Structure 1
Amino acid sequence: MSDETDNPLGPPPWLNAPPVERYPYADTHDLRSGPDLHPTLLALLPFVGLWRGRGQGGFPADEDYNFAQEVRISHDGRSFLKYESRTWLLDEESKPAGEWLNEAGYWRPVLTDDGRATDEMEATMISPDGVAEIYVGKTIGTTRLEMEADAVAYTPSGLHVTGGHRLFGIVDGALLYAYEMAVDDSGLQPHMSARLLRIGG
Structure 2
Amino acid sequence: MALSPQLRPLIGTWRGPGSGHYPTIDPFNYSEELIFRDVAKPFLVYQQRTWSPDGRPLHMETGFLRSPTPSTVELVLAQPTGHAELAEGTLTAAENGLVLELQSPQVLVAASAKPVAATARTYRLVKNQLSVDFSMAAVGAAMTHHLHSDLIRAED
> After TM superposition, is the score higher than 0.5?
yes
Deviation at 1:109, TM superposition (A): 1.1
Question: Which residue is equivalent to 1:164?
Answer: 119
Question: Hey, what's the Cα distance between the residues in 2 that align with 1:129 and 1:60?
Answer: 20
Query: 1:86 aligned to 2:86?
Result: no
Deviation at 1:71, TM superposition (A): 0.9
Deviation at 1:130, TM superposition (A): 0.5
Question: Hey, what's the Cα distance between the residues in 2 that align with 1:87 and 1:81?
Answer: 20
Question: Which residue is equivalent to 1:3?
Answer: none
Query: 1:193 aligned to 2:156?
Result: no
Question: Which residue is equivalent to 1:105?
Answer: 63
Question: Which residue is equivalent to 2:4?
Answer: 41
- Whether the 8 Å contact between 2:114 and 2:139 is mirrored in structure 1 is no
* 2:99 partner amino acid: R
- Whether the 8 Å contact between 1:152 and 1:161 is mirrored in structure 2 is yes
- Whether the 8 Å contact between 1:136 and 1:150 is mirrored in structure 2 is no
Deviation at 1:151, TM superposition (A): 2.7
Change (3 A) 1:108 1:60: farther
Change (3 A) 1:200 1:151: farther
Higher strand share: 2
Aligned ranges for residues 29-68 of structure 1 at < 5 Å? 39-59=2-22, 62-68=25-31
- Whether the 8 Å contact between 2:6 and 2:70 is mirrored in structure 1 is no
Q: What percentage of residue pairs aligned between the two structures are identical?
A: 25
The secondary structure found in structure 2 opposite 1:77 is: coil
- Whether the 8 Å contact between 2:13 and 2:153 is mirrored in structure 1 is yes
Question: Hey, what's the Cα distance between the residues in 2 that align with 1:198 and 1:172?
Answer: 9
Change (3 A) 1:145 1:126: same
Root mean square deviation of aligned Cα: 1.7
**Looking at CA atoms only, which structure, 1 or 2, has the larger radius of gyration?**
1
Question: Hey, what's the Cα distance between the residues in 1 that align with 2:3 and 2:36?
Answer: 16
TM-score by length of 1: 0.71
The secondary structure found in structure 1 opposite 2:16 is: strand
Ranges in structure 1 where 5+ consecutive residues have no aligned partner: 1-37, 91-95, 111-116
Question: Hey, what's the Cα distance between the residues in 2 that align with 1:153 and 1:78?
Answer: 26
- Whether the 8 Å contact between 1:148 and 1:165 is mirrored in structure 2 is yes
Runs of 4+ displaced beyond 4 Å? none
Question: Hey, what's the Cα distance between the residues in 1 that align with 2:123 and 2:135?
Answer: 12
Deviations 1:68-117 (A, max 9, x none): 01111101110001110110011xxxxx242110111111112xxxxxx3
